Amino acid sequence: MTLLVTGTIAIDSIITPFGELESCLGGSATYFSVAAGHFTWVFLVGAVGEDFPEDYLKIFDGRPIDTTGLEKRPGSLTFRWKGSYAGAMNEARTLDTQLNVIAEEPPTIPEKFRHADFVFLANTAPDVQLKLLRQVKSPQLSMADTMNYWIQNNRDDLLKLIDHIDSMVLNDTEARMFTGQDNLITAAADIVQMGLEFIVIKKGEHGTLLMTKDKQCFVLPAYPTADVKDPTGAGDSFAGGMMGYLAAQNAFDLTTLKKAIAYGTVTASLVIEDFSLRRWHTAARPDIDQRYRQLKEMMQFK
């Protein structure tokens, strides 16, 4: 089945305890599509400026990613983000953000993409996400990401978006902020009751929580890796692995969702082992499958 992703393609500058990397490839849609491309065909929709280096597009070469929906706009500049990590690297400190092209009108979804079976709306303004979703015909499953800024400043738009999507992914801090609930299980249940089929809450190094509309719950720890160099894009890579697996299976029942979350978990564990998307120059689907088997074995006990 086909999977459509809309989101940012960015130029990042990253500082971690393991080094610095200036003007590297980033963006939510970039991380998502490369991760999802290990499982299924991906339709990528986004916009960059005329300053975007052509060499950066090589990351998509040889992968099942259709970049027809990637607009390069003359006279515009690419979205840029600079951030730093310290200590346990659980959260980025934003040093600079230049919206540039993403402050303009969102891209148009190509006609051949509008019949995608699965849709992921990567993090951006909820009214923009809804505008993009309305260009798609009748997806089997639509999921949106969000962040604390939209929860605090665009809550009404976010609630309107929820009326039109099937599921959401957000982190534990955002879930608590959105609901006002300290207990994460209660927060998940409150969000699902807004009309979603299921909610996925990311807890960073502490794993993931799934809650379905009939209150079935699933929790999974993170894959244990000590080789963390750059956490940028971990959440988007998790979502890409998860949605890529769901689209490949053409299903999102509870059993498939559990496996999808496990695949998303191990996919994210790979990307954080190097800066930007460099890890995908050496890692491939067999590495994802191996970690999936290892994670499954770790969860078995008598």
Angstrom distance (rounded) from CA 123 to CA 120: 9
Residue 259 has φ and ψ, to the nearest 5°, of -65, -40
Residue 48, strand partner residues: 72
- Whole-number pLDDT of residue 54: 94
Looking at the DSSP assignment, which residues form a beta bridge with residue 208?
202, 220
pLDDT at 205: 86
Question: What per-residue confidence (pLDDT) applies to 88?
Answer: 85
Residue given tokens 């299921």 in the structure block: 198
**Cβ neighbours of residue 140 closer than 8 Å, sequence gap 6 or more:** 1, 117, 118, 250, 252
- Which domains are delineated in the chain? 3-298 (3.40.1190.20)
C-beta separation of 210 from 198 below 8 A? yes
- Rounded CA-CA distance 166/178 in Å is 17
- Return averaged pLDDT per consecutive 10 residues of the chain, 302 residues in all: 95 97 97 98 98 96 96 97 92 93 94 97 94 96 94 96 97 96 97 97 94 96 94 97 98 97 98 97 97 95 82
Task: Give this prediction's pTM.
Answer: 0.96
C-alpha 113/C-alpha 57 separation (Å) is 20
CA distance 224 to 206: 10
